[in-house]
Structure 1
């Protein structure tokens, strides 16, 4: 059985919007600005994660974002990401943009539940906060991996949105990356 893992970079106040500053959000660019010299250590951890991943699960906009940035790259990390099977959730997408992708156009909850049954290993969700919110709401997430950047943005799209009820989590791992980034791993508490 597959394990759904949301892996994302967030500001201290949970903002995930426009980390590279190329989307036009007035507070964008926080990833490079506040990651600084810690980004080399971050890249090593991200490569390790990619090497241990069986598939990626993305929303349509994230598929476009990653395709634009990764398809032309080469090297161990890019080769791994580009070759991984990808599943792109969208109600109207006919052809995903990133290589080796399959569209999931049915009901999100049903499609992802089936995917978890069909695949073994880690199914990682990158940079897809709307999809992540749906997966969290329907208790489909098995783990959250958050790299917290040392900045409060005060505005912007956040990873977590409204839920129908409390979603208790257990911290299972915490460490620093370089001097300023926190890497936190949480798992849902299913029996709370």
Structure 2
């Protein structure tokens, strides 16, 4: 059985919106303010994660961003790994997909539940805020990996939106990344 992992870079106050400046958010590009040491350390951890990933789960806009920003044609081991893994794209509109991708066409809960049965390892979600909210709401996320960046933005879309009930988690790992990033790994407490 597969494991759905939400892997996000977030600000100190939980903002995930427009970290690289692609959407026109007022504080767009906040991730780009990291210094070189922190960015290199972040990239090393993300590459390590990519090597352990069996599939990617992406919203349509995140998928388009990955393709448009050159991951589909970029060189190097990290890009090669991202190209190689199957990608499952959540989209309610017809999408012209490339990059080893399949559209999940039905109900998100049903499609992700089926995907968990079909993929044996980690299915990692990057970006895709609306999909992340739905996975959290429907208790489909098996792990949250949060790269907490040293910025408080004060506004913007946050990873945790409204839910129908409290969502309890337990901390399973804390890791310092570079000089100012902390990676927090949580798993749901479904018994709470």
> What TM-score does the superposition give when structure 1 sets the normalisation length?
0.96
Aligned to 2:94: 93
Distance apart, 1:35 and its partner CA: 4.8
Distance 1:88 1:35, change over 3 A: farther
Unaligned runs of 5+ in 2: none
> Is 27-36 or 64-73 further displaced after alignment?
27-36
SS of residue in 2 equivalent to 1:147: strand
Aligned-partner SS, 2:93? coil
Partners of 2:12 and 2:97 lie apart in 1 by: 32
Q: 1:92: how far off?
A: 1.5
* CA-to-aligned-CA distance 1:131-167 (integer Å, 9 cap, x gap): 0100111110000000000111011111111000000
Q: Residue 17 of structure 1 corresponds to which residue in structure 2?
A: 17
Partner of 2:190: 190
**Which secondary structure state, in structure 1, belongs to the residue aligned with residue 13 of structure 2?**
coil
- Aligned equivalents of 1:138 and 1:22: distance in 2? 28
Q: Give the 3-state SS of the residue equivalent to 2:187 in structure 1.
A: strand
Equivalents in 2 of 1:167, 1:6: separation in Å? 15
Q: Who is 2:79 aligned against? A: 78
**Structure 1 residues 106 and 41 mapped into 2: Cα distance closer, same or farther (>3 Å)?**
same
| Cα deviations by residue, 1:90-123 (Å, 9 ceiling, x for unpaired) | 11233224x0000001000000000001110000
Which string of whole-angstrom CA distances, capped at 9 and with x for unpartnered residues, describes residues 78-99 of structure 1? Answer: 00001110000111233224x0
Where does residue 143 of structure 1 map in the other structure?
143
Unpaired stretches in structure 1, ≥5 consecutive residues: none
Q: Output the TM-score relative to the length of structure 2.
A: 0.96
Q: How many residues align?
A: 191
